[in-house]
Amino acid sequence: MTPHVPPMASQELLSRLLATFPELSELDETHRMDLLGSTQFNRLRGGDIAYRQGQRCNNYVMCIEGQTRVFKTSESGREILLYQVGPGETCVLTTSCLMAGSPFPAESTAETDVLHAALPASSFHRLMSASPRFRTFVLDHYGDLLSSLIMLVDEVAFASLDL
């Protein structure tokens, strides 16, 4: 289970969230207050599991510090790194799972100590419906990460066997 950060630290952490994701400061005040009031902060230690394959995605996760890796493992134990999520980034698969209501299709572990902001799914869906700016924020991050993932597929699928 991911340890929650004590409420005393909330104001400092909310400031760090907005500094890491300045686009969120541009939300209408009502939507910004909804986001900030709903967001929880979690810490992972290096090696901790963030998501297991098949797990339900309950939060929209925004990385403030540290780095996680998202990967798939074959039945034979071979592993392929899909992408990493670092400060100022979100997870494309978590976003996809929240939008589609599907389970997480890979695994994610913390490569370093991580601090992330977790917006519960109910707040995520409410803001996606009510706030064009939040929707743009999510889709911009999603598009950037999806493009990176497609580049990885191209590299794996079309790289020479020598590589």
pLDDT of residue 8: 41
pLDDT of residue 141: 84
Query: What element of type H or E holds 108?
Result: strand 107-110
Q: To the nearest whole number, what is the mean pLDDT of the chain? A: 88
Which of 126, 78, 116, 66 minimizes the C-alpha distance to 94? 116
pLDDT-flagged residues of the chain (< 50):
1-2, 5-6, 8-9
